[in-house]
Amino acid sequence: MTILVTGATGAIGARLVRRLVAEGRTPRIASRHPSNLRDRWPELDAVELDVLRPTTIGPALAGVSAAYYLVHSMGP
């Protein structure tokens, strides 16, 4: 089962990722800036997802069974 966590750079998203990893899962993590995620969790699949750029949504969701949507907008 592939689980996507959006907003993984945020406080809640990061805690969720740590919890999922502690439970033995390997979530796909998403952010507008996936390089920040790769630095923190090099063992996970970090992908770009920017809800203001629809072309990034489909690839991030490919093969996903469940998603945590933890995105909030501070403006474009």
User: Is the predicted pLDDT of residue 43 greater than 80, yes or no?
Assistant: yes
- Cβ atoms within 10 Å of 49's Cβ, excluding its own: 24
Taking the model in full, what pTM does it have? 0.89
Task: Return the closest-CA partner of residue 6 out of 75, 56, 43, 76.
Answer: 56
pLDDT (0 to 100) of residue 76: 59
pLDDT (0 to 100) of residue 71: 85
Predicted confidence band of residue 2 (pLDDT cuts 50, 70, 90):
very high
**Cα dihedral 66, 2, 28, 13 sign:** positive
